[in-house]
Amino acid sequence: MAGRNFATGGPKAAAGTTGLGVSEREDLANFISLITRDETPFYSSIGKTKSKGILHEWTTDELAAPGSNQVAEGSSYATTHAAQTAEPMRTRLGNYTQINSKTVEVSGSKRAVDQAGVADEYAYQLKKRGTELRRDVEHDLVHSWNSSNGSGTRKMGGYQAFTNVNIVNAGAASGAAYTAPSTVGIGTCGVIVRGASDANLLALELSNVDDAMQTIYQEGGKATVMMTSPANKRKFSAKAQAADSNVQRNIDDSGKLRQSVEMYDSDFGTIKIVPNYIMGLAHNTTGNATTSAKDYSALVYDPQWYNIATLRALHETEVGQAGDSTIGQIVEECSLEVRNPSGCGLIVGLAG
């Protein structure tokens, strides 16, 4: 007699090895539950625009620095013009578009069988891959430390590639170094030097946020959002609620005690504190290929200065049949437009 090799993998089948429960029906709910987070906080917070080429470019400008501007009565144009400082020149910035893609392959049998929670396996996989692709884009925008690259496999520069001013290094006092990139031309990522261990990194302080807000204000900007990892979000709330912080915990009309800090009113404006779970994931950086960059930074920015520039919108291409399987691909080509990098900032050297 053949052995017991017909089990479907369900719990009742396992019970059948003792001869009990073999004929009992399993209670399998008609849905599939995904616990993985699918939010894209940064991508969702910024604007959208259209790219018309694989190199998306834009220009920035600024006002001349304030200064004394008195002139003598009756001065000639030549005399007045000679006394004035040169007008700041426009700067041309750019970022290459990046092709993002996911593939799907589903057998004919898998599409035909009656499955719990799935009407069509191919459609389900397309939706799932699309959600994954959107999270991948979020990762490259805020957490990959990508430098823009137009040769070979094109790569868009992320947030850090366009932030070379308004940088606060929280870990500088303990030896964590950071070399800022240049924003002249195409975005090149900064270099992280953390030392042999995370001992060089320090916890996020309220003063780090104040310093970033002040430098942005002095550059003419006004940040409205600080985005960081969940661990840094908790540390920020704890620091804001500390006994000597001059911040009181709020108890609303319902008696609910508010422990978290969602809005922070600094000397240079109010910012919203937003956690981004992707910034809390481990990732090897471009500048230091052996060190995880999780929890390392906080983005202090105004969403109005950022856009997703789309060359090709997200779309599905059904490649066709490969034998008895249906295969398809979803593709999107886009880049990050940083309209004026001076209006935003970055806190680095955080321990999480």
80: pLDDT strictly greater than 70: yes
Does pLDDT of 289 surpass 50? no
CA-based nearest residue to 336, from 189, 161, 212: 161
Q: How far apart are CA 161 and CA 188, in angstroms?
A: 5
Asked if pLDDT for residue 12 goes beyond 60, the answer is no
- Looking at residue 241, its pLDDT comes to 76
Check residue 64 and give its pLDDT. Answer: 79
Q: How many residues does the chain have?
A: 352
Mean pLDDT of the chain: 82
Give SS3 for 314: strand
Give the pLDDT confidence score for residue 321 in this predicted structure: 79
- Whole-prediction pTM: 0.83
Distance (Å, whole) CA 242 – CA 236: 10
Domains in the chain (CATH in brackets) are 92-348 (3.90.1690)
Spatial distance between the Cα atoms of 179 and 285, rounded to a whole number of angstroms: 13
The tens digit of pLDDT for each residue in 250-279 reads 666 666 656 677 888 889 999 999 999 999
The conformation of residue 319, written as its DSSP 8-state character, comes to E
pLDDT at 6: 47
In this prediction, residue 288 has a pLDDT band, given cuts at 50, 70 and 90, of very low
Residue 142 DSSP SS3: helix
Please list the residues that pair with 177 across neighbouring strands.
Answer: 193
Q: Is the pLDDT of residue 8 over 80?
A: no
Lowest mean per-residue pLDDT among 24-33, 201-210, 212-221, 288-297: 24-33
The amino acid at 349: G
Nearest to 144 by CA among 347, 284, 280, 40: 284
Please give the angle made by the CA atoms of 82, 86 and 87, to the nearest 5 degrees. Answer: 130
- How many of the other CB atoms lie within 10 Å of CB of 134? 18
Judging by DSSP bridges, how do beta strands 306-322 and 91-96 pair with one another?
unpaired
Burial class (CB in 10 A: 0-12, 13-18, 19+), 251: exposed
Token pair of 263 as six digits: 């809005």
Mean pLDDT across 26-40:
61
Task: Look at residue 10 in the predicted model and tell me its pLDDT.
Answer: 60
- Which SS3 state, helix, strand or coil, does residue 44 take? helix
| Angle (deg, nearest 10), helices 230-240 and 206-218 | 100
What is the pLDDT, as a whole number, of residue 290? 46
Rounded to an integer, what distance in angstroms lies between the CA atom of residue 79 and that of residue 69? 13
Q: Residue 137 and residue 188: Cα distance in Å, rounded?
A: 18
**Residue 139 and residue 278 in contact, taking contact as beta carbons nearer than 8 Å:** yes
Residue 23's pLDDT band (cuts 50, 70, 90)? low
Local confidence band at 187 (pLDDT 50, 70, 90 cut-offs): confident
Lookup: tokens for 309? 């520039």
**How do residues 160-178 score in pLDDT, each as one tens digit?**
999 989 999 998 888 888 8
What is the DSSP secondary-structure string of 180-214?
----SEE----EEE--SSGGG-B---HHHHHHHHH
Rg of the Cα atoms in the chain: 27
- Answer whether residue 101 shows pLDDT above 70: yes
What residues form DSSP beta bridges with 345? 300
